[in-house]
Amino acid sequence: MSQYALNLIVVGSTFLLYIGIAIWARAGSTSEFYAANRGVHPVTNGMATAADWMSAASFISMAGLIAFVGYDNSSFLMGWTGGYVLLALLLAPYLRKFGKFTVPEFIGDRFYSTTARLVAVACLIIASITYVIGQMTGVGVAFSRFLEVSNTAGLFIGAAIVFFYAVLGGMKGITYTQVAQYCVLILAYTVPAIFISLQLTGVALPPLGLFAEHQGSGVPLLTKLDQVVTELGFASYTEHHTNTLNMVLFTLSLMIGTAGLPHVIIRFFTVPKVSDARWSAGWALVFIALLYLTAPAVGAMARLNLMETVYPDGASGAEGERFVNDFVDDLVMTIESWRPIDPTPA
């Protein structure tokens, strides 16, 4: 069977599953559509929140961001998970306590003002549209790869599928679709990570493998990685190279941004009680942490694996320089090949 057919069957069947769930759990009332009738178990809601929130950025790009920069990009790990502390302590329980369906409703009622409510709606739409632009670009890239179509065509196909199950199922359908999505997502992410960890360190759990000994050289994995990348003329992996204040502010902005995401906040309206909203934020971070503890390991191991594969004998002097130049050329060519086929920017 060709790779293309295999892709179609595997990815197609996951979409059939999601649409099947949406039809089975379709919304029948306003409360079901907006808040899944406030009947979602906190663990289920946590899992759905995790799938809802971990998107193109976490799944496709984060391990790569860490792999190519190392320590300095830890901001993504701390920022995107640290936001959940703010969400759990300062926002989610209070919004759930108020017992409304949306944040603008809360703002409007709290400040007795339709103007405040309209401002909240405008903020919500601006934040959501900005977010959706990034996400849909990711959808376009993913669909164009597996269906072998242009980015734009991929984007429209992806949007049509999402539209179908979101409108049909409302919050209730989406909750169960997202639980299924989480299972698919976490398996797809952790299974290859376990194998690369076993190959490089002999430790099955990637987060432990990251700090374990590198098989073959006997030195810790991160020490080995630092040696290899500095030998090739790159900046070291574990050291801090950027401005400290910049890193602090960047991390803080990622945290505040995470805590304010409209599609995450709205998930906390679906649980039965205020106490459940508190537990639910914790469960969401448990399911997110499974991926976020794996990502830095994937980053470091993939970087080491890449370096060792393309340059097995290490590099010294002129040879190393030539390697770096070739590597940069290859990288530029690879990025060029990702360009959309049609002239529309992706």
Contact set with another protein (CB under 8 A): 31, 35, 37-39, 66, 71, 74, 77-78, 81-82, 84-86, 88-90, 93-94, 97-100, 207, 210-212, 219-224, 226, 238, 240, 244, 247-248, 251-252, 255, 272-275, 278-279, 281-282, 285-286, 289, 292-293, 296
Q: Which is nearer to another protein, 154 or 299 (CB)?
A: 299
* Rounded-to-integer distance, Cα 56 and Cα 145, Å: 14
Output the smallest distance, CB 237 to another protein, in A. Answer: 9
The HSE-up count of residue 304 (CA atoms within 13 Å, CB side) is 27
Q: Which is nearer to another protein, 2 or 244 (CB)?
A: 244
Q: Which is nearer to another protein, 139 or 264 (CB)?
A: 264
Q: Rounded to whole angstroms, what are the CA distances from 25 to 19, 110, 276?
A: 10, 33, 22
Q: Which is nearer to another protein, 232 or 281 (CB)?
A: 281
Task: List the one residue out of 255, 291, 285 whose CA is nearest residue 268.
Answer: 285
* Rounded-to-integer distance, Cα 53 and Cα 35, Å: 17
Task: List the one residue out of 259, 19, 145 whose CA is nearest residue 251.
Answer: 259
Concatenating the DSSP letter of every residue in 7-64 gives HHHHHHHHHHHHHHHHHHT---SHHHHHHGGG---HHHHHHHHHHHHS-HIIIIIHHH
Output the smallest distance, CB 211 to another protein, in A. Answer: 3
Q: Which is nearer to another protein, 137 or 227 (CB)?
A: 227
Q: Which is nearer to another protein, 148 or 213 (CB)?
A: 213
Task: List the one residue out of 184, 241, 196, 243 whose CA is nearest residue 221.
Answer: 196
Output the smallest distance, CB 219 to another protein, in A. Answer: 7
Which pair of structure tokens corresponds to residue 88?
Answer: 């759990």
Output the smallest distance, CB 130 to another protein, in A. Answer: 25
The count of other CB atoms within 10 Å of the CB of residue 188 is 12
Output the smallest distance, CB 91 to another protein, in A. Answer: 12
Output the smallest distance, CB 35 to another protein, in A. Answer: 8
Q: Which is nearer to another protein, 13 or 113 (CB)?
A: 113
Output the smallest distance, CB 181 to another protein, in A. Answer: 22
Burial class (CB in 10 A: 0-12, 13-18, 19+), 333: exposed
Q: Which is nearer to another protein, 142 or 293 (CB)?
A: 293
Q: Which is nearer to another protein, 89 or 328 (CB)?
A: 89
Output the smallest distance, CB 110 to another protein, in A. Answer: 10
Output the smallest distance, CB 264 to another protein, in A. Answer: 14
Judge whether 209 and 200 are in contact, CB under 8 Å.
yes
Judge whether 93 and 80 are in contact, CB under 8 Å.
no
3-class DSSP state for residue 296? helix
* Rounded-to-integer distance, Cα 251 and Cα 246, Å: 9
